[in-house]
Amino acid sequence: MACDLCALLAASPAGEVAGNIVWRDDALTVVAVDEPGYPGFTRVVWNAHVKEMTDLAPGERERVMRAVWAVEAAQRDVLAPHKVNVASFGNMTPHVHWHVIPRYADDVHFPNPTWGARQRDPDAAAIAVRSSLLPELHATIRERLNDLSEPLSS
């Protein structure tokens, strides 16, 4: 079975920031997800095709989660969402990746999950404001993840 994430990663070498790729190194890639109505939706992807978090060594798992936490913190600092949803599914794409989704009380699905029943029409003005913050968000994510290679503290 073809893997969408493997195809995406094969198209860009490590270190390259292009298209939806916000940050990348030899182990991880952070991708801006183009999901209408959800500016700031981000995925943290383990580069190697690994199906489950427990397939990774403990240090690798810690590295993935440090990246997820860095993305979440950047979203909170720049976008000031009401809540951040963090999830790992992989049912359709069995490749370790985490969804980090800033949520707002006025988003179309809130308080339901983003795939749940729609609760209201989109607020175009609010989405435009949030979208205008994406360059700052992506710069903040890159800044925080550049420190990811530092040794883990005990």
pLDDT digits (tens, 9 = 90+) for 84-95: 999 998 888 889
Residue 154 is predicted with a pLDDT of: 36
The chain-wide mean pLDDT, for the chain, equals 90
Tokens of 135: 């360059």
Residue 150 inside a domain? The answer is no
Residues of 35-51 as b/e, b for ≥16 C-beta within 10 angstroms? eebbbbbbbbbbbeebe
Residue 79 inside a domain? The answer is yes
Residue 153 inside a domain? The answer is no
- Phi and psi (nearest 5°) for 42? -135, 150
Average pLDDT score over residue span 115-139 = 96
Does the pLDDT value for residue 81 go beyond 90? yes
Residue 152 is predicted with a pLDDT of: 45
Residue 117 inside a domain? The answer is yes
Average pLDDT score over residue span 17-21 = 74
Domain that holds residue 87: 4-145
Residue 21 inside a domain? The answer is yes
Q: What is the pLDDT of residues 133-142, one digit of tens each?
A: 999 999 999 9
Residue 110 inside a domain? The answer is yes
| CATH number for the domain that contains residue 88 | 3.30.428.10
| Beta pairing partners, 32 | 42
Residue 154 inside a domain? The answer is no
- Provide the domain count of the chain: 1
Helices (H), 80-133: 124-132
Residue position matching structure tokens 């893997």: 3
Residue 51 inside a domain? The answer is yes
